[in-house]
Amino acid sequence: MAHCVNSSVLDSDDMVMKPGCVVHIHWAPCPHNGEPACETPLHTDTRPGRDAAIRFWRLRTHGQRPLVLHHGSFGDDREHNIETDVPDCWCDPEYLLGGEA
């Protein structure tokens, strides 16, 4: 079962940063501590480097949520597919399962 990790999260309704659990996708305080993590993967690119991107994922979620690691930059000429839960993209991304902390 997953443990909450609170961080600053952008509230897109009013464009203000607020505390929220990035593991269970709930505003803080999160009532879901100890429940399964959100299954929706996070997407990132390898612009900072593969190892740095994985370190950031582990820091922000303790590796409890899935991660789709796109090779290259989200600023590339060809747009990366981040709309699905399936890592279906031209860049042949890596898919790291949640729980790989």
- pLDDT tens per residue, range 13-49: 999 999 999 999 999 999 999 999 999 999 999 999 9
Domain extent at residue 3: 1-36
End-to-end CA distance of the chain: 13
> How many domains does one find in the chain?
2
**90 shares a domain with 75:** yes
**79 shares a domain with 52:** yes
Tens digits of residue pLDDT in 25-34: 999 999 999 9
**61 shares a domain with 97:** yes
**30 shares a domain with 43:** no
**95 shares a domain with 47:** yes
Q: What is the pTM of this model?
A: 0.81
Question: Closest by alpha carbon to 66, among 93, 28, 29?
Answer: 93
**16 shares a domain with 47:** no
